[in-house]
Amino acid sequence: MTYKKKAIFLSALIAVLALVYVLSFIFDPQRQSRDSFAWLDPGLLVMADRIEIYGGIHADDIHADGIHADGIHADGIHAEDSIIFSRKNNVWVISSGATDYPIKQGRVEDLLTALSRKGLYPLRAASAEARERLGLVEGIASRIIIRGGAGSPLLDLLIGTGDSLGQGVYLRRQDKSEIHSGEDRFTLYTDSGPGAWYNLRLFPPIDLSAVQQAEITLPMKEDEEGDINTFVLRRLGEGWIIPGNNSVVLDTIRVETWLRSVLEAEGASFGGEAPAYVDGRINLRLGDGSSQIIQIGPGDKEKRRSAVVSESSLVYVLPEFTTNRLFRENSYFTR
């Protein structure tokens, strides 16, 4: 065999052996087992009764509702950068004082699923220098703490910087030195302000067919004086009428599109005080004899209005756009 052929043969052999080595490293069952795990044991989910999320919230996102701005947390965390959920009667809420604000249950469950679902989290480092360099030290890292009663948390997870590809992130348990990397499932939650968590729907889910009548009292315009402008839309067969005014033909599609927008309406945020007086009102009467009512107060300088709904103690803030969409003149519904 000539020298040239030997060199080619040896080079090819080395390449094959290198490939076999790499593949054996990648597909090593023991390595796969070590790197594949869930941060939170799914069996512990039933115990979770408090979730604390720190980091990723800028100072201008902070407000009183749900944000605890009382200095330093017992674990040395800046509490002004926190959102805290608690589970009461199997429902997650954000509590502020004596008020429990509803939040999106599905979003909380998605977070818990992300934490308790297995993923590939290979070990990357364990040194103090690496923790500092990758943003995995307290006061810098974002943090998710899951608690279940008194004692140590079920999970205390630090989330550091993103990896070089921008698709993963570095992670570390607070009580461990080992640093892992993996798919970024978590900054979606740590970078969210409270508005992303609140459930701001005015009404619970109600089927459109359940509404038999809508009584609308329009808010007074700034230059308007005189009688209160109230009218009624009533279901009749497959259509709608204004009682006592049979000469007016209503557009069924427009009425029901409006009605759907009322049933699905959301506030922009929660407010602190109920309206000083009622300036507008929508009363939806349902087939079972019950009612769902929105009452709004006067507008502020930015034309936002406080609103209360039925028997709820919560106060919602409605922007001008939402108010205008809900409170329509009766001429809007005619053909």
In this predicted structure, the answer to whether residue 52 has a pLDDT above a threshold of 80 is yes
- Give the Å distances, CA to CA, from 233 to 99, 181, 291, 314, 327: 35, 59, 14, 27, 13
Q: How does residue 123 score in pLDDT terms, banded at 50, 70 and 90?
A: very high
Q: Per the structure block, which two tokens stand in for 139?
A: 């006061």
Alpha-carbon distance of 158 to 162, in angstroms, equals 13
Mean pLDDT, all residues of the chain: 85
Q: How does residue 68 score in pLDDT terms, banded at 50, 70 and 90?
A: very low
pLDDT tens by residue, 181-192: 999 999 999 998
Of 223-227, 260-264, 300-304, the range with the lowest mean pLDDT is: 223-227
pLDDT tens by residue, 220-253: 876 566 567 999 999 999 999 999 887 788 999 9
pLDDT tens by residue, 79-120: 456 899 999 999 999 999 889 999 999 999 999 999 999 999
Q: How does residue 14 score in pLDDT terms, banded at 50, 70 and 90?
A: low
Residue 296 has a pLDDT of: 98
If one compares 14 and 167, the residue with the highest pLDDT of the two is 167
Task: Decide: 260 and 208 in contact? Cβ < 8 Å.
Answer: yes
Residue 248 has a pLDDT of: 85
In this predicted structure, the answer to whether residue 73 has a pLDDT above a threshold of 90 is no
CB atoms near residue 157 (< 10 Å):
20
Alpha-carbon distance of 57 to 272, in angstroms, equals 22
CA angle 114, 109, 99 (to 5 degrees): 135
**Biggest distance spanned by C-alpha atoms of the chain:** 110
pTM of the shown model? 0.77
Which of 12-26, 29-43, 53-67, 72-86 shows the highest mean pLDDT? Answer: 29-43
Task: Decide: 277 and 297 in contact? Cβ < 8 Å.
Answer: yes
Alpha-carbon distance of 135 to 125, in angstroms, equals 13
If one compares 64 and 277, the residue with the highest pLDDT of the two is 277
Alpha-carbon distance of 52 to 74, in angstroms, equals 12
Strand partners of residue 102: 93
Q: Per the structure block, which two tokens stand in for 223?
A: 């230059």
Alpha-carbon distance of 242 to 230, in angstroms, equals 11
Task: Decide: 293 and 280 in contact? Cβ < 8 Å.
Answer: no
Q: What are the sequence ranges of the domains in the chain?
A: 30-196, 208-333
Residue 222 has a pLDDT of: 65
The end-to-end CA distance of the chain, in Å, is 95
Which of 51-65, 70-84, 90-104 shows the highest mean pLDDT? Answer: 90-104
State the average pLDDT over residues 155-172: 90
Of 72-86, 168-182, 199-213, 302-316, the range with the lowest mean pLDDT is: 72-86
Rounded to the nearest angstrom, the gap between the alpha carbon of residue 241 and the centroid of all alpha carbons in its chain is 39
Q: Which residue type, as a one-letter code, is found at position 34?
A: R
Rounded to the nearest angstrom, the gap between the alpha carbon of residue 209 and the centroid of all alpha carbons in its chain is 29
CB atoms near residue 85 (< 10 Å):
21
